[in-house]
Structure 1
């Protein structure tokens, strides 16, 4: 029998409006009941900007830790802006907020990376920070192309900074950019440190995140191409009619998949 994998639940899996209305703590508690090991806090789902203050984040982080969960801090900010410039201010803010929360991982979008990774500048910001930086493939052409991610890690290698950051591999997001998730997994597996689990349903602009079927062979193939030891985050919506039961079932399934 294969060893189980750490499963996190992304706050948005419980519903955007539900999280903005009730706050993250309620859904961290639901994640604990479901058997998850971690919980992903989403900056864009705070009901008020004050919820992202360092004092509020410290309080939330303490509550999550008291549940026995570790946390991921996700921000919609991008590491690179258009033209390839490193957004040092966005990185600094994300790090400050993630450190206040006590997060294990801090996740940004890749954004407008072109050819220079600015690895020394990133390393300088991360010095002494007890949190791991990961960048995620998004749903837009900028920040969601396979060539950008291949280019990023090649650039970091050239700069001698290959270990400065890792990747959040979002299985479903590749569909928005018409990229095969299996091809992406084959190319990027060495750099993947966190997996967002969902599939895309619908077509074109009408695509939306959905739960993979338990017998979805394509989704299983992608998981098998990615590192087995890295945590997997549930980002697809749970069944609103039986959230606790669905969450527990999905955590158990994904941990063993």
Structure 2
């Protein structure tokens, strides 16, 4: 029997156009009705930059909390620049915005990490915050390779800052890098604190995110290899003809599988 775990619905599951037209709060309300415990706010889905203003984020965060949900703040910003340096300004902005929202996690892309993790600098910027920093494996070569993530956590351990950040393990995104998710899970499971759940359909430029099938043994094997006490996020498109029923179905399924 599966452990009890929190299921998060990611705003993008409702569709980019729907989120921008209706706003994140409407999607959070639907997530609560579907039985989710958390909701992921996506900065790139704001209708305009004004939505990232501190007072707007605080209002949104309070409204989400009043629904009984906790939140994740996701930004497309990268933790490391293309030349491998820590992007301190991007990290600071992400934490400021996530703190205004009242988020439990702030999620960034990894970016161009090479060998120096700058763990001490990350620790200094994050030590007084209640927001937990996680980095996600992306779909691009930069910030999406298994070698980069193994190297990141090895570097943090060498720098004696192993616990300064965790990982968002996106099961589906490994397909864009031709990495078997089970292989990645075997190497990265100790660092995983949040899971993005999706599979993919198609190939190459025609590859796109999809909901896992109930009998997808490979997907279930990856979940079994990852920690069972971390939140699982629905990050695949919900059926637009029955959004809330579909959301409720996958909330129940992901909590039990």
SS in 2 for 1:212: coil
Output aligned runs, 1:158-173, within 5 Å.
158-173=158-173
C-alpha displacement of 1:2:
2.7
Output aligned runs, 1:183-202, within 5 Å.
183-202=183-202
Output aligned runs, 1:201-216, within 5 Å.
201-216=201-216
Render the CA deviation track for 1:73-130: whole Å, top value 9, x for unaligned: 0000000011110000000000000000000000000000000100000001002111
Output aligned runs, 1:60-209, within 5 Å.
60-209=60-209
Render the CA deviation track for 1:142-166: whole Å, top value 9, x for unaligned: 1000000000000000000000000
Over aligned residue pairs, what C-alpha RMSD do you find?
Answer: 0.5
Counterpart Cα distance in 2 of 1:132 and 1:95: 9
Preserved CA contact (<8 Å) 2:107 2:168 = yes
SS in 1 for 2:242: helix
Counterpart Cα distance in 2 of 1:92 and 1:244: 35
- In structure 2, what is the equivalent of residue 27 of structure 1? 27
Preserved CA contact (<8 Å) 2:8 2:40 = yes
* Runs (4+) off by over 6 Å: none
Preserved CA contact (<8 Å) 2:2 2:255 = no
Counterpart Cα distance in 2 of 1:108 and 1:132: 11
SS in 2 for 1:110: strand
Counterpart Cα distance in 2 of 1:111 and 1:70: 27
SS in 1 for 2:241: helix
- In structure 1, what is the equivalent of residue 222 of structure 2? 222
- In structure 1, what is the equivalent of residue 36 of structure 2? 36
SS in 2 for 1:82: coil
Structure 1: gaps of 5 or more residues: none
C-alpha displacement of 1:4:
2.3
SS in 2 for 1:89: helix
SS in 1 for 2:73: strand
C-alpha displacement of 1:205:
1.0
Structure 2: gaps of 5 or more residues: none
SS in 2 for 1:79: strand
Counterpart Cα distance in 1 of 2:244 and 2:22: 16
SS in 1 for 2:152: helix
TM-score by length of 2: 0.99
C-alpha displacement of 1:5:
1.4
Aligned residues: 257
Render the CA deviation track for 1:162-208: whole Å, top value 9, x for unaligned: 00000000000000011110100000000000000001110001110
Counterpart Cα distance in 2 of 1:240 and 1:176: 25
Render the CA deviation track for 1:11-43: whole Å, top value 9, x for unaligned: 000010000111000000000000000000000
Counterpart Cα distance in 1 of 2:203 and 2:74: 26
